[in-house]
Structure 1
Amino acid sequence: MSILQKMTGHQYRTGPKFDKAIIAVGSCENHGYHLPFGTDTFVSSMLAERVAEQVEGLLVLPPVNVGMSQHYAHFPFSLTLSPETLIAVLKDILESTVRNGIEKIFIMNGHDGNIAPIEIAARAIKLAHPRAKIATLDAWWVTAGKLLPKDTFAVWNGLGHAGEGETSIGLALFPELIQMEHAKGVVPNLPENIEIKWNFAELTNTGATGDPSKATAGKGQKMVRVLVDEVVRFIREMDGRNWQYASPESALPQG
């Protein structure tokens, strides 16, 4: 067993030793008319657990269920932490993990609004604990599109909040919570290369972007496979070099 919430103190003390931890950071917010509010937490935590099944010594921490969702607040029922609160929560969890003797931490993020708070919290912990090693999968929805063949998705390379990709991965992981008969979205007309800081209501009137009607469980299963494989590969590679990533040439001169 590698899920901390399900362990007893005896199991933790006498069971396999953990030198790494993985934490999912999600949200509770509107995901169109068809996906559950907890989609971001469900996806990130289920991916984290599947990774831990394949990586020795990887402890699954409790997920963060509410994220920074202020830009989705025009749609009910979106819960949100302020950026400052989420940064503080993440810092406290990371600090607690390091204090318990685990200095290698992987963050599996499930929501776009969490990316900046994760970055700030991780940098603060690195400053306080230089020996800590922190890695993140910031945007699985982008990474999956890069890892899969270009013809996998029908619209917008699968992108979109509650769009083709996110709905597909939901169909693969928790189909019993999805109502595909209500799936509809809007592909926004966004410029390339320059990022607009939008409120979500400026992009869609359905609570979803992209085209969730094109989603299938088969596409979602492909997404799960490549994402889990990629994270497992990364952690095993880092374990193989003791999480050292500085080139010899970058070492500071002694004396």
Structure 2
Amino acid sequence: MANHELLKLTANQVKKGNYNKAILAIGSCEAHGLHLPEGTDTLVSYKLSCMVADRVDGLLVLPPVTVGYSGHYDTFPFTITLAYDTVIQVIYDILESVLRNGINRIFLMNGHDGNIAPIEIAARKIKEKYPDARIAALPQWWVTAGELLPPDTFEVWNGLGHGGEGETSIVYYLFPEWCEKELATCVVPDHLPDKIEIKWDFAELTNTGNTGDATKATVEKGEKMTKVLVDCVVDAIKKLDAVNWDYSSTNAASKL
């Protein structure tokens, strides 16, 4: 299978690759309980990006952002975090670099909750300066997977949690050699309200560095998650390609 990872391509290969769009994985480096690798968010989002590129013509896989905003996790070892403003600027600078190289169609594959707001701000700032930029994103694949799969796929919390049933399952499937399954735990906070967000520090929710029920994770669930997520992104990009990334309404009301 052809390689589309910019890190592994020569300048000559990039030039001959006829790339007209790019995908950027944005992750973190932080504890995910005792059982998953610290780079889980980066590893998963980058792997998904590569799998998407295998099925979409002209899609260049950019080097991943390996550190994001993780200040709310820094009680646990070995969390590395950037400031919010730094994350925004890093994403902005990468997007601007891609635009400067002639690609204005960019997909953002986010792997970490702390990056959601910085991604939104960076993308909006880019659109203000470069109106012709086309930016799409999967902001939280861990939620999307639960929405795409049958409701009985997960046993606890619809698979949610940091290092919980869903995230642990996908890492077991994609990177089994970097996991310590015997250390998986179940930590489900009892008093978080539905539909309302609590701005917590992670140490207020768990003493293990993970939430959700990682003991219910399986390779089979991870495989199902991977398939529906890759299919979802591939389908979205191909539909955008079919309309030349022109997502404007065809039945807009007349101006008053």
Q: Name 2:196's counterpart in structure 1.
A: 194
Query: 1:14-71 CA distances to partner (integer Å, 9 max, x unpaired)?
Result: x220110000000000110100100000000000000000000000000000010000
One-letter amino acid matched to 2:207: N
> What is the aligned-residue RMSD (CA, Å)?
1.2
Deviates more, 1:135-144 or 1:244-253: 244-253
Which residue number corresponds to residue 203 of structure 1?
A: 205
Matched with 1:146 is 147
User: What is the CA-CA distance between 1:7 and the residue it aligns to?
Assistant: 0.6
Instruction: Report the alpha carbon displacement of residue 2 of structure 1 after superposing the two structures with TM.
Output: 1.1
Return the alpha-carbon distance in structure 1 between the equivalents of residues 253 and 119 of structure 2: 27
Please report the TM-score for the alignment, with normalisation by the length of structure 2: 0.97
Distance 1:61 1:251, change over 3 A: farther
- Written as runs of structure 1 = structure 2, the 5 A alignment for 1:76-87 is 76-87=77-88
Question: What is the match of residue 37 of structure 2?
Answer: 36
Contact 1:27 1:110 in 2 (8 A): yes
- Corresponding residue of 2:100: 99
Aligned residue for 2:25, secondary structure, equals: strand
Aligned position for 1:185: 186
Q: Which of residues 215, 227, 232 is equivalent to 2:234?
A: 232
Distance 1:148 1:25 in 2: 23
- Residue from 202, 220, 223 that aligns with 1:221: 223
Moved beyond 2 Å, runs of 4+: 248-253
C-alpha separation between the residues in 2 aligned to 1:223 and 1:244?
A: 29
Output the CA distance in 2 between the equivalents of 1:111 and 1:26.
6
Report the Cα distance in structure 2 between the residues aligned to 1:94 and 1:142, rounded to whole angstroms: 25
Q: Which residue of 2 aligns with 1:64?
A: 65
**Structure 2 portions without partners, runs of 5+:** none
Q: Distance in 2 between matches of 1:70 and 1:121?
A: 19
Q: Is the 8 A contact 1:185 1:206 kept in 2?
A: no
- In structure 1, stretches of 5+ residues that fail to align are none
Which range moved further: 186-195 or 115-124?
186-195
Which residue number corresponds to residue 176 of structure 1? 177
Structure 1 residue 12, shift from structure 2 partner:
1.5
**Number of equivalenced pairs:** 253
How many Å separate the matches in 2 of 1:249 and 1:52?
32
Identity, % of aligned pairs?
62
Partner of 2:122 in structure 1? 121
2:156 aligned with 1:155: yes
Match of 1:88 in 2: 89
Whether contact under 8 Å (1:24, 1:110) holds in the other structure is yes
1:9 shift after superposition: 1.2
Offset of residue 10 of structure 1: 1.5
Spell out, residue by residue over 1:154-187, the C-alpha distance to the aligned partner (whole angstroms, 9 max, x if none): 1111000000000000011000000010011310
Distance 2:128 2:84 in 1: 20
> Whole-Å Cα distance in 2 between the matches of residues 192 and 116 of structure 1?
21
Instruction: Kindly provide the CA deviation profile for residues 222-247 of structure 1, in whole angstroms up to 9, marking residues without a partner as x.
Output: 00000000000000000001111111
Take 2:74 and 2:254, find their aligned partners in 1: how far apart are those partners? 48
| TM-score normalised over the length of structure 1 | 0.97
1:59 is paired with a residue whose SS is strand
Q: Quick one: which amino acid aligns to residue 197 of structure 2?
A: E
In structure 1, distance between residues paired with 2:67 and 2:119: 13
Aligned twin of 1:132: 133
Distance 1:163 1:155 in 2: 9
The residue aligned with 2:24 is 23
